[in-house]
Chain A
Amino acid sequence: MTGTWSRLLRSTPFRLALTFGFLFMLAFVLSGAIVYQMMSADLAEQLDDTIKETYAVIAATYADSDPKELVETVDSHSMRSPKKEQLFSLTDAAGNRLAGNFTAAGLPDGFSNFGAEMPGLPKGTEYRAYSGAVGGDTLTIAISLSETEELETIMLMSFGWATLIITGLAVTGGALLASRVQRRLDGIAATMVDVSHGRLDARIPLTGKGDDIDIVSSQVNAALDRLSGLVDGMKQVSANIAHDLKTPLNRLQMILEGAADKAAQDRDVAGDLADARAEGHQINETFDALLRIAQIEAGARKARFTDVDLGEILQTIAEIYADVAEDDGKSLSSVELHQTAARIHGDPELLTQMFANLVENALRHCPPGTTIKLSVARQGDRMLAGVADNGPGIPADKRENVFQRLYRLDHSRSTPGSGLGLSLVRAIADLHGASITLEDCQPGLAVVVSFPLAVD
């Protein structure tokens, strides 16, 4: 129980609720005090008015010719207040009571308060009095304060209850709201614990309300998606690397063993050595490509980004590869430039390699007679660079796979290449914040790289 409580006290939502409850209570009590002050002042004023009025009415009955009239009036008023909630007193200059239901002795002229310690008055009652001279005598009117005090007590009581109810509501409501938020935070924490224990498929449950916790949660989920994708990719890649490097390593070993045998028999091993060198070269190239991809993905190159004209880069690529394509029985059409400047922010060296890879890929996988087209076009705030061919294309269900490291379509396993070219393309595109789509040209394949425009 104490554990739950201390946990509740440490929970941010509960603390917030508590703080707001406290602030609200403070405001309520303050405003209550002000209202109470104003009302009691108003009540006192009303009382004074009543006393003064009664005094005026009685005093008005006095006339020099008939002092008896005043005595009678005071007495008749006194008769109407048997419980002594109103007191009347008429005394002469010597302090003797002439009329009324009490003797006001020693009260100053004007308003004053006195307690009921006088004989004949209800004990413990406070009175408000007004004294003044009428003729040669002194007239005093007093009213019990008990009614006013009662009203004030009722007011205080109702404020007290209201405060109590509000406090209760604030604390329980806060605790309720806090525990709801806390449950969701606990859900996030539990998910993260799962993830840190290696369960990468754990996701934070969403309420679907789209509130701020949902937004943060879905962002965390998206990050987890990417992370698990990367980890899956890495596992896949490790397996692929092991497989793809094992084959040439095995071949290398076989060649070397053969060469060793031949050497033992004093036969010429030059051919075997050339083969071994070629295998070694291939293995090194695969590693080289893997390391380059890793370095590009690490993003260090970004520091060297400058403004580059995509059109210029594609123009250069077209110029370099036009003759290569021609010798290969294919044709490479020059760039269709749809605007004069296609400026993006990037690394010209990597971009050149990227488009060279794409063009070489098309050259390698397309039969003679194929036409390869390069194009640059602006579309909204993106710059699209495309390498399109009218070759055999890639089946729709295999298109996403080609960007995986070391992935090769079955029929291309016999052609040379490491299966890393497109992974490198993807890594370079990612570095530039560009997306790659593979489109069906019917027939043929179009690789479209969509770059964000350079910001001026």
Chain B
Amino acid sequence: MRLLLVEDDHRTADYIVKGLTEAGHVCDLLRNGHDALFAATSGGYDVIVADRMIPGLDGLSMVKAARAAGVRTPAIFLTSIGGIDDRVEGLEAGGDDYLVKPFAFSELLARIHALGRRPAAQEQKTVLRVGDLEMDLIMRRVTRQGQPIDLQPREFSLLEVLMRGEGRVITRTMLLERVWDFHFDPKTSVVETHISRLRAKIDKPFETQLLHTVRNTGYSLHAPLAP
């Protein structure tokens, strides 16, 4: 993917650019908002990653201006810790996601992947399929190998998020936000508990494992890789 990174802190920028390059992406780094706005409107980027506090035009205004200019490129804001209103403001300004600093690089990467490959068509699907697991979004029914699986409503949405991100890493924080609408870090194992319940229902009774734990990061749902 071709990414635009707007970040004025050298260390953070180097850290991100290095990580993204290693992950196989092309990353353009700009250090102020005006240049970034120009670059964003020139197009050609798959995802914009913008720090909120940058010289010149701040990140929020930059994305707002880009949106006003018709730029639809998904944008992730990087915000400093503690900004409880930052997320709402960021989303209102036209951002698609936000990430609180300091963050694990895997978290940023997971979110970039989630945004960059969000195909519009898949949103319209009424049936999601991962391997032999099938989810009917209209009937709200889940089957694996044709056997119906009974899920609690919360487990259903958990599985839906994982299936929509098939093959990608979905982090614990992403799950908290999307499934539970929790915008804080719970001190108990909310995610782990529900993942283990879900796993007991969709994986345990079957031979092949679909739901994988990605150490220190999150989870990924995918069919076994072809040998």
Contact = CB atoms under 8 A, between A and B. Distances in A.
Interface of A: 280, 284-285, 287-288, 290-292, 294-296, 300-301, 304, 319-321, 323-324, 327-328, 349-350, 352-353, 356, 360, 363-364, 416-417, 421
B180 A320 contact: yes
Contact of B182 (A292, A352, A421): A352
Interface stretch (B40-48, B51-59, B69-77, B79-87): B79-87
Interface string B174-191: 000000111111111110
B172 interface: no
B190 A324 contact: yes
- Going nearest first, the 10 A-B pairs with the smallest beta carbon separation are A291-B82, A324-B193, A288-B81, A360-B188, A353-B184, A323-B193, A360-B187, A327-B193, A295-B84, A288-B82
Contacts of A356: 182, 184, 186
Contacts of A319: 154
B178 to A, nearest CB: 14
11 contacts: A280-B102, A287-B81, A321-B188, A323-B193, A324-B190, A327-B196, A352-B182, A353-B183, A353-B184, A364-B187, A416-B187
Interface size class of B (residues with CB under 8 A): 20 to 34
B212 interface: no
Nearest to A274: B216
Contacts, number: 63
Interface string B83-104: 1110010000000000010100
Given A319-B154, A352-B182, A353-B182, A290 B188 contact: no
- Chain B contact surface mostly: loop
B197 interface: yes
A292 B154 contact: no
A300 B83 CA distance: 11
Nearest to B196: A327
A323 B197 contact: yes
Contacts of B204: none
A147 to B, nearest CB: 93
A284 B183 CA distance: 16
B82 A349 contact: no
A290 B82 contact: yes
Nearest to A285: B185
Contacts of B154: 319-320
Contact of A324 (B81, B100, B182, B188): B188
Contacts of A295: 82-85
A291 B81 CA distance: 8
B25 interface: no
Contacts of A320: 154, 180, 190
Contacts of B183: 349, 353
Contact of B85 (A294, A301, A360, A421): A301
Interface in B145-178: 154
Contacts of B180: 320
Contacts of A304: 88
B125 interface: no
B84 A360 contact: no
Contacts of A360: 186-188
B118 interface: no
A290 B82 CA distance: 8
B141 interface: no
Contact of B84 (A280, A285, A292, A363): A292
Contact of B181 (A284, A352, A417): A352
B194 interface: yes
B15 to A, nearest CB: 14
Contacts of B188: 321, 324, 328, 360, 363-364
A295 B184 CA distance: 14
**Most chain-A CB neighbours within 10 Å: which of B84, B88, B102, B184?**
B84
B85 to A, nearest CB: 6
B108 to A, nearest CB: 16
B70 to A, nearest CB: 29
A284 B81 contact: yes
A356 B183 CA distance: 11
Given A352-B181, A352-B182, A353-B182, A324 B189 contact: yes
Interface string B189-205: 11001101100000000
